[in-house]
Structure 1
């Protein structure tokens, strides 16, 4: 059942938890998702004046970003990566994010030379007006990753009406 169709207060996606020890902090520099053909550089992102995470610039559709004041991917806590679904020029970095399934792999290359390996636990779609901040940005305290992009129907007046969120946990390091 699509997440937005669940009753308020429904259980969070089933996340089994990390099977790897958290890594020391190190900035992420690249994300790879072999199943959907993503191999993208990462830029640092900040919050805007309203407290929302700014996306990467729309004129750089192949670039993804990470919340630089948050948890680096692989460290204990919830790390957040975001990227565009599309731009006026066509599909962007996270165009196929909604096609991921439980068990898919995500690789995050880090500035320290390590690569954090994540496994997808769930893929959910949330209506923008019912986006569950605590569920998405909160976590178990273990090393978790969220990938976020636009989703749902498009409205010429308001843009996309939903967000696609991928939940993943750290399962290895190389």
Structure 2
């Protein structure tokens, strides 16, 4: 198993059972099918994720983490974030923060929002705010509520009301100013 292959499979829904179908299988009581696909040789991420969530919901958190372990072991952030989420909802938030922080991709901008939410959930909003970048549009929506929680309401309002930069429309060229027909 390789992180790049997992990323491609899940984003393209290629060579895997689509998440909607996995949810439907579980809703109809076909848990053994989902479990079998989750632990099969060619392992299916959506089945593994659903099976791990089911186990965690039953209070079998360690078993759920074992299901996710091969995926986390690839270094794939999506799997590590899911494991951290399960740890957090299972009452092991400090461990979730430690795992996410120690992950090689934990400092990347796309991982910071999830890590900030874990920190805030553990009662560490100051650290969460320090982790997020107000200049990154995708992090502003996570940053605003954290600022409010810290009593910095005016700063949050200013941040969220700041207009987004306008993307200039494409300029016509000799090739694009005529219809293709």
- Greater Cα radius of gyration, structure 1 or 2: 2
Per chain length, whose mean CA-contact separation is higher, i.e. which structure has more relative contact order (CA < 8 Å, sep 6+)?
A: 1
Same fold (TM over 0.5): no
State TM-score, norm by structure 2. Answer: 0.22
Structure with greater helix percent: 2
TM-score (norm: length of structure 1): 0.23
